[in-house]
Amino acid sequence: MKTGIQELKQQLGRELAILAHHYQRDEIVELGDVRGDSFALSKAAAANDRARYIVFCGVHFMAESAALLARPEQAVFIPELSAGCPMADMAPIEKVERAWRELGRLLDLDRLVPVTYVNSSAAVKAFCGGRGGATCTSSNADQVFEWALKDDRKILFLPDQHLGTNTAAKLGAGPLAVWDPDEERGGLSEEELKSARVIVWKGFCHVHTAFTVEQIEERRREHPGCQVVVHPECRREVVAAADASGSTEGIIRFTAEQSAGAVIVVGTEIHLVERLAREHGAEKTVLPLEVSYCPNMYKINLVNLGRVLEGIVRGRDHWINQVTVSDEIKRDGALALERMLEIAGARK
């Protein structure tokens, strides 16, 4: 199967770009033209000026982001349409719009900046872009928060409570309030809302909330002197108990920077942890904090990747799993992504 995919890649040549997220299994990553976290792949999609076909080996919101940034002549595909993101689903556009109306009864919306993690639907990205807000990734959340909080503004952060909380804590941006979309007025008092600098949506990633302080303590007992690094989607107490936290790319850099003989315990998706263990196995020991994997990332495989590529080679009438967005969502969603890229210095 892998040989067949390589042959299809050769037929398409420079007209094809396969983007592979770090959480993909090895056989998919090895076939990618670009490997990265969501920020690196967002930049790659925005900068690609030659590929007509972009195949995103990740989850659906990532392919949507590529579709938002794609030029009219480019087509974006995902090997498996059902590869979704439960955290993105925790902030459906209807609930976000309702929350915005409720907040507008108490707050000056001109001074409230909506910021969404890229782990969100294209509709939510467009909502933020159309209201002066932006997207962010775990790589650049600090920079986007600093931008949004200028001139004494407030942030409504969607949909990950933990990335929002950890970023606000890192920047000393408080007070903070947690908005529960299933409660009237988010389950918050008028005083809590008016005093909060950052309002975070009650959403989470099940991969990263699986990690606990007790697991860190156990690993430290098993491996005295080990270095623990976790993703900022982890709970606040887990991030505080670790030696470091960082995006997927940040975790990769942290592991590479440790000296020979180091034991590094990593709290993130298991496919990345296992890949780091293999890549550094000659001189360092890389261990998972606990085995936690993303079943949606795992839905991408050689079979469905091959089917998408076969359809592209055969021509438009045979395309499958194309990811598209409406013109209105593309306009405002792209605006939110472009702001992120500009804030993070990706565009000069």
Specify the number of domains making up the chain. 3
Report if residue 222 sits inside a domain: yes
Considering 288, 307, 338, which residue would you say is the last residue of a domain? 288
pLDDT digits (tens, 9 = 90+) for 2-49: 899 999 999 999 999 999 999 999 999 999 999 988 777 877 877 888
Q: Is the peptide bond before 92 cis (omega within 30 degrees of 0)?
A: no
What is the per-residue pLDDT for 42?
72
pTM here is 0.93
> How far is it, in rounded angstroms, from Cα 98 to Cα 116?
16
Tokens representing 75 are 């087509």
Residues 251 and 265 in one domain: yes
Residues 194 and 219 in one domain: no
Considering 158, 179, 201, which residue would you say is the last residue of a domain? 201
Residues 190 and 135 in one domain: yes
Residues 60 and 46 in one domain: yes
Considering 201, 231, 258, which residue would you say is the last residue of a domain? 201
The label of the residue with tokens 């904090």 reads 289
User: For residue 157, what pLDDT band results from cuts at 50, 70 and 90?
Assistant: very high
Report if residue 42 sits inside a domain: yes
Residues 14 and 28 in one domain: yes
Report if residue 337 sits inside a domain: no
User: For residue 166, what pLDDT band results from cuts at 50, 70 and 90?
Assistant: very high
Residues 129 and 191 in one domain: yes
Q: Which CATH number do you get for residue 105?
A: 3.40.50.10800
SS3 129: helix
Residues 185 and 124 in one domain: yes
Residues 94 and 185 in one domain: yes
Q: What is the dihedral of CA 268, 274, 275, 280, to 10 degrees?
A: 100
Residues 193 and 234 in one domain: no
Report if residue 95 sits inside a domain: yes
- Across the chain, mean pLDDT equals 95
In this predicted structure, the answer to whether residue 139 has a pLDDT above a threshold of 80 is yes
Tally Cβ neighbours within 10 Å of residue 51.
24
Tokens representing 88 are 């993105």
Q: Which of 151, 149, 121 is nearest to 135 (CA)?
A: 121
Report if residue 333 sits inside a domain: no
Residues 282 and 251 in one domain: yes
Strands (E), the chain: 16-21, 34-36, 53-57, 75-77, 112-117, 134-136, 154-158, 176-179, 198-201, 227-230, 244-245, 263-267, 285-288
- The domain of 130 spans 88-201
User: For residue 347, what pLDDT band results from cuts at 50, 70 and 90?
Assistant: very low
What is the per-residue pLDDT for 111?
97
Backbone angles phi, psi at 190, to 5 degrees: -60, -40
Residues 95 and 196 in one domain: yes
Residues 67 and 149 in one domain: no
